[in-house]
Amino acid sequence: MEINKIGVLTSGGDSPGMNATIRAVVRTAKAKGIDVLGIRDGYKGLLAGDMINMTAKTVSDIIQRGGTILQTARCREFMQAEYQERGAHMCKVFGLDGLIVIGGDGSFQGAEKLANLGINTVGIPGTIDLDIACTDYTIGFDTAVNTAMDSINKIRDTSSSHSRCSIVEVMGRNAGHIALWCGITTGAELVLVPELPRPANEDIIKKILETKNRGKKHFLIVVAEGVGGCNELAAHIEEVTGIETRATILGYLQRGGAPTALDRLRASMMGAKAVDLLCEGKTKRVVAYVKGEYTDFDINEALTMRKPFDKYLYDLCDTLSQRY
């Protein structure tokens, strides 16, 4: 099938590097003589026919910007067959020969439904959570980790000055990858992730006291969003040990900011790859980065895969926290 016009949208939670992806999609397509329509507000905008013509100039000076110039939204209606059919019809009304969806698992589920209705679709993994099983990397993860790491470093400075215990919650939804990376890169005494059973409060307190007895005067615990309970844990530690303890929830600041060089590079490569796949006649695919190579998977296969937890990295974090 000849590809003359494609659409691109960003869906679900935003992540740093989405703009770099959009830029790569548009400029790669234009270099191949393909027109591009930008769909605003994700699937919500698709249903409304909210599309704009995009040119090489449209995407000038956006590679360094966080967020997404196309805006994004969560569209619960798109989980229903009626709205999926309406979305497919809208693609045909606007003459789209292919659709590129930048987002996470939920966004890919929508792309799968459109593919089943005859729309050529390719997904690009854009989420800070690194929770898409088919790929070793998702756009926005590196920036989110660096943002969280920088914030934790600042918290640790004041924690050290006051001999406090600091508990910091990072994002990640039901995945602990951001927490684990931040735990290692900030030298945390303990990391709590949803993939493993949460230690009992008594065990956490024992770890803090053992560390204190070895001469440490301040302590850091990094908690994944999927574990939560930071405020309650902080109150309990302070009550039992007498150590001043503060909880900080970093929240959405991890989704913002200029993307790192790594996110800009990977986003650009994945955006170009998605256009290439459509031009090769492939559909219902997800772009992935696996063992140093850019590749692609069937969306159905990608959605059924489960990402293994890196227990080695977790154990390493625990080893590096010890003061022998």
Q: What is the CA radius of gyration of the chain?
A: 22
Is the Cβ–Cβ distance between 194 and 174 less than 8 Å?
Answer: yes
Element (H, E) at 169: strand 165-170
Is the Cβ–Cβ distance between 8 and 102 less than 8 Å?
Answer: yes
Choice among 35, 97, 105, 129 that is catalytic:
129
Q: In what order do the strands lie in the sheet with 245-249?
A: 190-192, 219-224, 165-170, 245-249
Element (H, E) at 170: strand 165-170
Where do the DSSP E strands lie in 225-315? 245-249, 285-290, 293-298
Is the Cβ–Cβ distance between 218 and 166 less than 8 Å?
Answer: yes
- 233 bridge partner residues: none
- Which residues lie below 8 Å from residue 112, measured CB to CB, with a gap of 6+? 121, 284, 299, 300, 303
Q: At what angle do helices 81-93 and 105-116 cross, to 10 degrees?
A: 70
61 is catalytic: no
Residues tagged active-site: 129
